[in-house]
Amino acid sequence: MTSRPPRPRERGIPEATVARLPVYLRALQALQDRGTLTVSSEALASAAGVNSAKLRKDLSHLGSYGTRGVGYEVEYLVYQISRELGLTQDWAVAIAGIGNLGRALANYGGFGTRGFRIAALLDADPAMVGQSVASLDVRHIDNLEDVVRSTGVSIGVITTPAASAQGVATRFVQAGVASILNFAPVVLNVPDGVDVRKVDLSIELQILAFHAQRRADGDGRDAERAGLELM
Amino acid sequence: MTSRPPRPRERGIPEATVARLPVYLRALQALQDRGTLTVSSEALASAAGVNSAKLRKDLSHLGSYGTRGVGYEVEYLVYQISRELGLTQDWAVAIAGIGNLGRALANYGGFGTRGFRIAALLDADPAMVGQSVASLDVRHIDNLEDVVRSTGVSIGVITTPAASAQGVATRFVQAGVASILNFAPVVLNVPDGVDVRKVDLSIELQILAFHAQRRADGDGRDAERAGLELM
DNA sequence: ACGTGCTTGTGAAAGCATGCACAAAGTGGG
DNA sequence: CCCACTTTGTGCATGCTTTCACAAGCACGT
Ligand SMILES: NC(=O)c1ccc[n+]([C@@H]2O[C@H](COP(=O)([O-])OP(=O)(O)OC[C@H]3O[C@@H](n4cnc5c(N)ncnc54)[C@H](O)[C@@H]3O)[C@@H](O)[C@H]2O)c1
Ligand SMILES: NC(=O)c1ccc[n+]([C@@H]2O[C@H](COP(=O)([O-])OP(=O)(O)OC[C@H]3O[C@@H](n4cnc5c(N)ncnc54)[C@H](O)[C@@H]3O)[C@@H](O)[C@H]2O)c1
């Protein structure tokens, strides 16, 4: 490809940066709770577990919110990041699949604190429908479209068994939900423009196992083996 | 630590590849269940939701396990990836914090199927200790060291409240657990050589919110605005 | 008003990751 | 045995991320 079409190059915050903003936000809120007024990139970076140059570059994408010689004003930065992430508005979330995991999520208090409100619970099991979980009635999945429309849901969380996940995802999309968080161990197929993120515990464990095995293989004879094997 | 030893450039599989291997593995196992014997990079890539060139490059890091003109033998590839990920051995997992989430994990059947065995449950609440969850006795967190030693735990999962997570992590590390999966919304501080992965639902939702807001901002006047803003 | 000391914001370099495109290598039919 | 066809494995170009290193900017004390 030589002449790359004009590519309007939307005001872009790099994806890697977006993924770290919530981490900074949390660290900042902890500082705020402790009454700290300003913080240096060094201190905030250390609280967030990243390199300070990276932190500064990340924040520079949002604008110039620091003061040289001083640092960043905590409260102002909290506001700027919140705004950038869209947390100054309220997001209604629906959870589909009220089993072990769905119930844990529904009962979890930590979401409401940050702009997310669980607005609907959906399940296919007639025995489940009508029950009250975390002060919400579980509705039948067949009512998905209605529920989404009437409660203004814009984020869908899928905690159904793997076999049902694609179907639920498709229905979410058809109902106008363009942001999906998927816990089922399947690759979801959705149209362009729909944003799917997955949380997959099995995968995380497998990655841990890979590194653990690496460590175990090498222990003691690491240097020698690595050296030899390259010859 | 800091003083990077010569680093003999260990036979390295890129981290991005490692993170995808479990996805390929799952897709392959689905094919296997359907009785498929061989699969092309194109087909497997599509099942795994990635580009086929990427898939081939990923697999090439494990060795040359394909046959040109034919594809990959499913069973053989399953074995090779499993071996590379360390799934041919058994990993004993301990869960600390048997609340909403810890219980959901403990009751989840999907781990055992892939080399992971939940070997111990730990909690600090006296009312919880002694109860039986998923056919395991909940032990008191004070026994962490004993439990880790006696059950051979090598992976620790943390589902305690945020405030307790660092303490539990430190104790896991001191007991010799060098792989930790953390669900609590805090940045854990651990010595070098210890591998921590985090699963953070709040962060995932916030990333979804960011993109959702982007879409909403731009809708309708996207093209014009993007173009104009660059001038 | 000016110098000192600290910290930000950002070029520039190096390191990773992605995806194209194609030669090399295998299969199967004639 | 050879040819047409398929699909792998990988060199290369491109773009994204991280990190270094330092000039520019600001606060504060004198
Ligand atoms: N529980 C865990 O710790 C855990 C861990 C990792 C992954 N997961 C994954 O999360 C998902 C849920 O796990 P779980 O343990 O809660 O399972 P579960 O069986 O306890 O719950 C699943 C729920 O989904 C409902 N359901 C089934 N089909 C549905 C449909 N079409 N529409 C709406 N609801 C439907 C069921 O009635 C049930 O209530 C699974 O895909 C699982 O693989 C769970
Ligand atoms: N439940 C969810 O859906 C969800 C979602 C996102 C994040 N999280 C995070 O996961 C963690 C657990 O969430 P939860 O909803 O299960 O909380 P929970 O309060 O239901 O359970 C926490 C459990 O940890 C135990 N505990 C406290 N201190 C301990 C210690 N020092 N050692 C061992 N156990 C200890 C408590 O006794 C309790 O049983 C929290 O950090 C939470 O922020 C949970």
Among the listed residues B193, B211, B96, the one whose alpha carbon sits nearest the alpha carbon of residue A85: B211
User: A229 in contact with B at a CB cutoff of 8 Å?
Assistant: yes
Share of chain A above pLDDT 70, in %: 89
Instruction: For chain B, give the mean pLDDT.
Output: 90
With distances taken from each CA to the C1' atom of nucleotide D14, the closest residue turns out to be: A1
Sign of the Cα pseudo-torsion (B128, B134, B135, B141, in order): negative
pLDDT digits 0-9 by tens, B162-198: 999 999 999 999 999 999 999 999 999 999 999 999 9
Sequence-separated (6 or more) residues with CB below 8 Å from residue A176: A148, A149, A154
Using the predicted structure, report yes or no on whether residue A78 has a pLDDT greater than 80.
yes
pTM above threshold 0.85: yes
Share of chain A above pLDDT 90, in %: 84
For ligand 1, atom 17: residue with the closest CA: A99
Q: Which chain A residues are closer than 8 Å to B205 by Cβ?
A: 91, 93, 111, 114, 116, 155, 181
Q: Are A136 and A153 in contact (CB under 8 A)?
A: no
pLDDT for residue A230:
35
A229 confidence band (pLDDT: 50, 70, 90):
very low
Q: Which nucleotides of D are covered by protein (CB under 7 A)?
A: 5-11, 14-21, 24-27
pLDDT single digits (tens) A169-219: 999 999 999 999 999 999 999 999 999 999 999 999 999 999 999 998 876
Distance, angstroms, CA B115 to C1' C2?
A: 69
d(CA B40, CA B23): 16
Q: What is the largest CA-CA distance in chain B?
A: 68
pLDDT, residue A109, reads: 84
Query: Which position has the token pair 């149209």?
Result: A191
CATH number of B8-85: 1.10.10.10
Cβ–ligand 2 distance for B122 under 6 Å, the answer yes
pLDDT of residue A191: 96
- The helix or strand, by DSSP H or E, that contains position B222, with its residue range, turns out to be helix B222-229
The whole-number pLDDT of residue B11 equals 64
Task: Determine, for residues A181 and B208 on separate chains, whether the beta-carbon distance falls below 8 Å.
Answer: yes
Q: For residue A124, which of A166, A75, A164 has the smallest C-alpha distance?
A: A164
- Taking the C1' atom of every nucleotide in all shown strands and the CA of A69, the nearest one is C7
Among B189, B210, B217, pick the best mutation site for testing chain A contact (most A Cβ within 10 A): B210
A156 with B209: CB under 8 angstroms? no
Residues 6+ apart with CB under 8 A from A67: A38, A73
**Interchain contact, B155 vs A27, CB within 8 Å:** no
DSSP string, A105-159: HHH-TTTGGGTEEEEEEEES-TTTTT-EETTEEEEEGGGHHHHHHHHT--EEEE-
Q: Output the pLDDT for position A220.
A: 53
Please tell me the predicted confidence (pLDDT) of residue B226.
Answer: 39
Q: Which stretches within B39-198 are classed as H helix?
A: 41-48, 52-60, 74-85, 100-107, 144-151, 162-174
Gap from CA of A153 to ligand 1 centroid (Å): 20
CA dihedral sign of residues A78, A83, A88, A94: negative
**CA–CA distance, A47 with A68 (Å, rounded to integer):** 20
User: What's the pLDDT band for A114 if we cut at 50, 70, 90?
Assistant: confident
For residue B16, the tally of other CB atoms under 10 A from its CB is: 9
Q: B103: which chain A residues are within 8 Å (Cβ-Cβ)?
A: 100, 104
CA B134 to chain centre: 22
State percent of chain B over pLDDT 70: 89
Task: Please identify residues in chain B, positions 10-39, with a C-beta within 7 angstroms of any atom of strand D.
Answer: none
Calculate helix-pair angle for A52-60, A41-48, nearest 10 degrees: 110
pLDDT of A111 above 90: no
User: What per-residue confidence (pLDDT) applies to B225?
Assistant: 39
pLDDT computed for residue B126 by the predictor: 98
* pLDDT digit string, tens, across residues B26-81: 999 999 999 999 999 999 999 999 999 999 999 999 998 999 999 999 999 999 99
Bridge partners for A94 per DSSP: A120, A156
Mean pLDDT of A76-104: 97
Taking the Cβ of residue B65 and every Cβ of chain A, the question of whether any pair is shorter than 8 Å is answered with no
- Fold of the domain built from segment(s) A91-199: Rossmann fold (3.40.50)
pLDDT digits (tens, 9 = 90+) for A135-171: 999 999 999 999 999 999 999 999 999 999 999 999 9
Within 23-62 of B, beta carbons closer than 8 Å to A belong to 23, 25-27, 47-49
Tokens representing residue B230 in the block: 């660059």
Q: Which pLDDT score is estimated for A39?
A: 97
pLDDT recorded at residue B153? 98
CB contact under 8 A, A202 and B25: no
Q: Tell whether the model's pLDDT for residue B25 goes beyond 60.
A: yes
Q: For residue A109, give Cα distances in angstroms to A88, B18, B41.
A: 18, 33, 44
